[in-house]
A and B are shown apart, each in its own frame.
Chain A
Amino acid sequence: DAGVTQSPTHLIKTRGQQVTLRCSPKSGHDTVSWYQQALGQGPQFIFQYYEEEERQRGNFPDRFSGHQFPNYSSELNVNALLLGDSALYLCASSLTMNTEAFFGQGTRLTVV
């Protein structure tokens, strides 16, 4: 049973560019959430997708957008990259409320 998989593992982008990160949830899970983790800090919630719609959103600007596909996989898009967007981006999947959220290995994004 594959867990949560994310791609790519590492990415280097230039300030002002756009980036797309991908996530496949754990088998049987239908909800995908994205988190940003800066160095030395805990992860911060970006947004959550369920039934192909954004259901919950954290305190992130509109430059951060996402999508969920019919097979429950998801993409995170960040436009107009800033140096401060450099972080580990984590995807988590879950099934219903009040259940465990399982995380992928993350995508390390470096903006130069």
Chain B
Amino acid sequence: SQQGEEDPQALSIQEGENATMNCSYKTSINNLQWYRQNSGRGLVHLILIRSNEREKHSGRLRVTLDTSKKSSSLLITASRAADTASYFCATDNSMEYGNKLVFGAGTILRVKS
């Protein structure tokens, strides 16, 4: 079963615009991680936000976490054609060993040049 659900399922924007993807989950978590995947290859780690954090930045990426609403958002500013990929959120709620990640189905982002 998948805990996280990304919204929207697909997003198409022009280069230079901002892209926002949302993720909702069902249970309490230790942390939430965002990943990018190009053309069915491996997952590239983007950012980890812990349950006691509300916002994190990394370059053009901004992630927010609202544990009361069990939701997170990923904002990519000034998008580029190279940002075209699938984006996944993954939650970790394992109590003992950690990193038993539960993924959503992902958001497909297309950035048109």
A residues lining the B interface (CB < 8 Å): 4, 6, 31, 33, 35, 39-45, 48, 50, 55-56, 58-59, 88, 90, 92, 94, 96-106, 108
Chain A: CB-nearest residue to B50: A98
In the complex, what residue of chain A is closest to B106 when comparing beta carbons? Answer: A42
Knowing A97-B30, A100-B45, A100-B48, say if A92 contacts B103 (CB, 8 Å).
no
Which residues of B come within 8 Å of A, CB atoms? Answer: 1-2, 4, 30-31, 33, 35, 40-45, 48, 50, 88, 90, 92, 94, 96-106
For B92, list chain A residues within 8 Å (CB): 98
| B86 to chain A: closest residue by CB | A42
Contact (Cβ within 8 A) B100 A45: yes
Contacts of A42 in B (CB 8 A): 2, 4, 88, 90, 103-106
Complex-state Cα separation, A41 to B106, whole angstroms: 7
Does the CB pair A56–B97 fall under 8 Å?
Answer: yes
Closest-by-CB residue of A relative to B43 is: A103
CB-defined A-B contacts under 8 Å, sample of 21: A31-B99, A33-B100, A41-B2, A41-B105, A42-B88, A42-B104, A42-B105, A43-B43, A44-B2, A56-B97, A59-B1, A88-B40, A92-B99, A92-B101, A97-B96, A98-B92, A99-B99, A103-B43, A103-B44, A105-B42, A106-B42
Q: CA A102 – CA B47 in complex, angstroms?
A: 11
**Complex Cα–Cα for A94 and B43 (A):** 14
